[in-house]
Structure 1
């Protein structure tokens, strides 16, 4: 792609004009030239919009929606300049510059070498201005956006920052000509901080903040994407007919593999002694109890037939089940919501104060899905993504998942050790990229695989799992296991 050239002297102007005459340059508008092909000019101008603005109006400040987006939206930017009346200019066929009269010195900050933008307080005031609809774009993002932004600032920087913003807005409102907007902003900050009566809040997030149930908007967006994807999927039903021996045997491997994934590693015969003989392994009391306690939950058919009917029931189920599976680890706060944000690698999970609100906001998405595997996958990812407790979240998420299958008389599923990396990769893709196909495929394939095993005979089930190398680490057994899991391949949409 070519370049843009901006004249800086009469000599350059004459030189560039000669090159236009010889076909080496093209004139875009007075003082702006390019050597790009005609087909490239529009994109070149858009990519260099800030340089174009600065050349035309060196004192210009990016304001309103442009100060937030920091790029043209639908080819339009808004800047404030020292003019008396509003003006609009067009550069090439791609860039429209709306020039708004106003102060260019108060509450601004440099964001590019050639251009300043509105500082946060001014940005909030500008986006509270009444937006007169333009055929290309509305310049102001509006009150709901401002409420959301205030909540984000509160989460990141605390109450002091909101109070500072309110004070600066009041101090500079007259110079900016935004007394009305400063008054509105003052009321919004007071409502969100609950220092004044709550009035006219419109944002779901701001209302939740006032009601002491703040939530993580990024996670809700992610969960909306998962729910939308799951609604595109057609899952085969895997009916389960209860049998006491088969239920016990499946529950044993459910607990064994779920703990192994989380690093509580035993040989199968050791886990058998823990569960069936109630004999903990020497010097591993807590690890032994991890296996036994998860088994006690997942082998209880009545408990595993319990799913939430409302957000409060979801919250209580999580607390009660967590308290059971972690009660031999008091240092991990059994049944107590985390006090400090937890993370896995680069992924930081939901902040402690947002746990209850995020679960509550996600619940309608959960209810919108059909019973069975769709709800099971959703609630597993919800618990894993919120990570409500200091430890035990992975095991809890898979318990919640299988309860969704039990309640509709569908087969539970296991996540064997050999398939651990595929499962974790699915979680990573969902968390980091909003891609849900891999995670969904892992669970759908494992659902079919688990249902194919004869669980009523413990010896036969164990022999099958060992033959498929399900109990091996991925680098040892994945090739053999994949030859088996491919027999249960599910066709899923892209996404």
Structure 2
């Protein structure tokens, strides 16, 4: 069903690595992706930090919180950094509840207590919810029954990765769709789900998926189709298109910056030569 998108995606990945990612210092490219991913993923949940503000926070920490931003937003971003970096250090590990819970603990370490301070049943970072959940216009199922299915989701996703029979984007999309409807934690499910989506892609040596804040409604609609029509085709399609658009954009930007710079140098050199010729004629 997705043969054309798979072909286009795979061809672009080869170009993207050759033109963009492989040309970077590895650590610089990791940080570039971390800042972009953190800014956009947190923005989907309402965080107002821009990419530039996220970069400043990453470089200077709490000593440089941009004007108009809350301490809660800053801590949410800083926690996102540490959770993402934790997963990067553990790419050799299989999907497991232990990994999921430890990442959630880091992701919500400084924010969960604040967000659940008035709850009758407050939750702790790294622990599953003890109450049923709702988000937006969605009421999720019985939390105890949904939590029981988390190990099976992790195990089946790991088996799919190990088999090599299913494209990594399809595995990542299917995992993400199922995970978001299991919604096992009191807070942070969206950010954690997108983080583990990229954990899956990185384990399969794929570029990370960054869902831009401007595509939030399209992303939410794709997730809703899973509930309304019992199909994840729309989410898979959205993942492919989003990944393809990002790679195309960054390849084009890299080529344009290179060509425009060379053109500018040539223009300066030509102007200099013309000026010297005019001086000689004079």
Q: How far, CA to CA, are the matches of 1:271 and 1:349 in structure 2?
A: 32
Which residues in structure 2 correspond to 1:87-236 (within 5 Å)?
234=6, 236=9
Aligned partner of 1:79 in structure 2 is none
Pick the aligned partner of 2:210 from 414, 418, 432: 414
Structure 1 unaligned blocks of 5 or more: 1-228, 465-495
Taking the aligned partners of 2:104 and 2:232, their CA distance within structure 1 comes to 26
Please say if residues 322 and 396 of structure 1, whose CA atoms lie closer than 8 Å, have aligned partners that are also in contact: yes
Specify the alignment match of 2:110 in structure 1: 328
Q: Equivalent residue for 2:65?
A: 280
Distance 1:281 1:390, change over 3 A: farther
Per-residue displacement from partner, 1:163-182 (whole Å, max 9, x unpaired)?
Answer: xxxxxxxxxxxxxxxxxxxx
Distance 1:353 1:251 in 2: 33
1:308: which partner in 2?
94
Q: Which of the numbers 244, 249, 252 marks the counterpart of 2:35?
A: 252
- Kindly provide the CA deviation profile for residues 37-72 of structure 1, in whole angstroms up to 9, marking residues without a partner as x: xxxxxxxxxxxxxxxxxxxxxxxxxxxxxxxxxxxx
- Flag the 1:352–1:393 CA change in 2: closer, same or farther, 3 A: same
Correspondences of 1:10-159 after superposition (within 5 Å):
none
Residue in structure 1 matched with residue 268 of structure 2 by the alignment: none
User: Residues of 2 paired with 1:268 and 1:423: CA distance?
Assistant: 19
Q: CA deviation at 1:377?
A: 1.0
- Once residues 325 and 301 of structure 1 are traced to their aligned partners in structure 2, the CA distance between those partners, rounded to angstroms, is 11
> 1:393 & 1:338 partners in 2: Cα distance?
11
Whole-angstrom CA distance in 1 between matches of 2:51 and 2:248? 21
**C-alpha displacement of 1:449:** 2.1
Which of 109, 114, 130 is equivalent to 1:339?
Answer: 130
Match of 2:171 in 1: 375
Maintained 8 Å contact 2:174/2:232:
no
Per the TM alignment, residue 356 of structure 1 is displaced from its structure 2 partner at its CA by 3.6
Q: Within 2, Cα distance between the matches of 1:386 and 1:231?
A: 29
Q: Which has the larger radius of gyration?
A: 1
Structure number with higher helix proportion? 2
Q: Helix, strand or coil for the counterpart of 2:149?
A: helix
The total of aligned residue pairs comes to: 227
Query: 1:388 aligns to what SS in structure 2?
Result: coil
Q: Partners of 1:304 and 1:422 in 2: how far apart? A: 31
- Aligned 8 A contact 2:39 2:50 in 1: no
The question of whether the paired residues in 1 share the 8 Å contact of 2:174 and 2:236 is answered with no
- C-alpha displacement at 1:351, in angstroms? 2.5
RMSD of Structure 2 on Structure 1 (CA):
3.0
Structure 1 residues 480-491: aligned runs within 5 Å: none
Q: Distance in 2 between matches of 1:291 and 1:443?
A: 23
Deviations 1:356-398 (A, max 9, x none): 4211333454224626112211221122111111111000000
Structure 2 unpaired stretches of 5+: 117-123, 258-282
**Are the counterparts in 1 of residues 128 and 185 from structure 2 also a CA contact under 8 Å?**
yes
Q: TM-score by structure 1 length?
A: 0.42
**Cα distance in structure 1, aligned partners of 2:87 and 2:143:** 31
User: Does the aligned pair in 2 maintain the 1:371–1:408 contact within 8 Å?
Assistant: no
Distance 2:226 2:170 in 1: 15
